[in-house]
A and B are shown apart, each in its own frame.
Chain A
Amino acid sequence: MNLKFRILRYDPEEKRRYNQEYAVPFRKNMTILDALLYIKENLDHSLSFRYACQAGLCGSCGMIINGKENLACQTKIEEVGKIIELKPLHNFPVIKDLVVDFEAMFAKHSSIRPYIWREQEKFDSEYLQTPEELERFIMVASCINCGLCYSSCPVTGTDKLYLGPHALAQCYRYIMDTRDKDKKKRLDIIDSPHGIWRCHFAGECSEVCPKGVDPAYSIQQLKGFALLRRNELKRISVAPLKKEKRKFE
């Protein structure tokens, strides 16, 4: 049985977008990435796409598969049918075929300072944290930077300055981290018309996230912190768990 692949390609030299079709023989448990590799090896060497781990960990192979953002390595042919349409991710400039430029998304990610932020660095030992404290942000820390949320967000498509679900979710991750100290400064970065307030809770980011990071949840929590629950942040920054629970101290 042959599968029909319709791929939206882009030729940067001729500045031309066009659909190209390929017939790929079906194999049980085949993923979209397997099929793309088959095309690349046997049918068309010029087809460009990005991939690395083939295990849903690196976040390189994100694309639109039959109208929905997904990772090519994690999507089985059986799940999507015999006719498969592939397009590059939305809201990113396309470099060639299915390869997009993540620069804008990563620049926004950098703007929220995605690292532990303290006035006085500690170099002689590691920062300690209880398992309970880790549970508060472990879900968001699973982000693999695949850009599916950024592509699916309807607001990112209309506001280029909007930080986007990826950066905002990561901001939430650092705000919830007890090792990070200056929550107010972080909140000041995102408490803007192009920050958390541009999100209208369409929920598409959470719907497409392959790791269940749930950016929509994180952004709504940030809005709550910014509006009515600023006091909660103070409690997080001083590691609020009871002393007896922090056995390592």
Chain B
Amino acid sequence: MVYENSRGIRGWWEIKGKNFEKLLFILHRLSGVVVGLYFILHIFETSTILNGEEDWKSLMEFLKNPFAHTGLLIVAFLSVFHALNGIRLIFAEQGLLIGKMRRQGYPIVSFSLTGIQRKMGWFVILLTFILALYAFYHLFIVSLGVRF
């Protein structure tokens, strides 16, 4: 009697000791789910305008608080990451920017994990943080008037 040793969905979230692309893989899935859920909420949110201007304005006032804006900041961070990493994947999954076939020699290094796509991955993270900082500026300093 054999034992089925499948990791199942658990394997998607294992990060300890894994490569950088796995981290991006996890973040891409996570950001996709979160942004997808946000879109559903966003439809409900914007549909209040159908009830008239008063309803819309009161909802906007209700949502103008640090908790809601923290949520928006997380959504902004994840959606920017998802979009930029998506561009990296479009190239990588066409077989572009992942190096060129060559004979392996010691020490063995998988060049698809060391090519331009990996640099792009780091650039995606950097750009995401910069744009999230911009979102923070608008959500907290401009909109809520937070002063440090």
Contact = CB atoms under 8 A, between A and B. Distances in A.
Interface of A: 10, 12-13, 15, 17, 66-68, 88-95, 100-101, 135-139, 142, 153-154, 157-158, 160, 176, 200-204, 206-207, 209-214, 216-217, 220-225, 227-229
Interface stretch (B10-18, B53-61, B69-77, B129-137): B10-18
Contacts of B111: 214, 217
Interface footprint category on B:
35 or more
Interface string B137-148: 000000000000
Contact of B92 (A136, A176, A204, A220): A220
B5 A91 contact: yes
28 contacts: A90-B11, A93-B2, A93-B4, A94-B2, A94-B3, A101-B2, A135-B102, A135-B103, A158-B8, A158-B9, A160-B6, A203-B19, A203-B21, A203-B22, A206-B112, A207-B18, A207-B110, A207-B113, A209-B108, A210-B108, A212-B108, A214-B110, A214-B112, A222-B95, A224-B93, A224-B94, A227-B94, A229-B95
A53 to B, nearest CB: 17
Contacts of A93: 2-5
Contacts, number: 141
Interface string B5-41: 1111111101011111110010010000000000000
A216 B110 CA distance: 9
A199 to B, nearest CB: 8
B50 interface: no
Interface of B: 1-12, 14, 16-22, 25, 28, 89, 92-96, 98-99, 101-104, 108-113
A68 to B, nearest CB: 5
A15 B7 contact: no
Nearest to B18: A204
Nearest to A197: B93
A217 to B, nearest CB: 4
B93 A223 contact: yes
A88 B7 CA distance: 12
Contact of B89 (A92, A100, A201): A201
Contact of A139 (B10, B19, B93, B103): B103
B110 A12 contact: no
B110 to A, nearest CB: 4
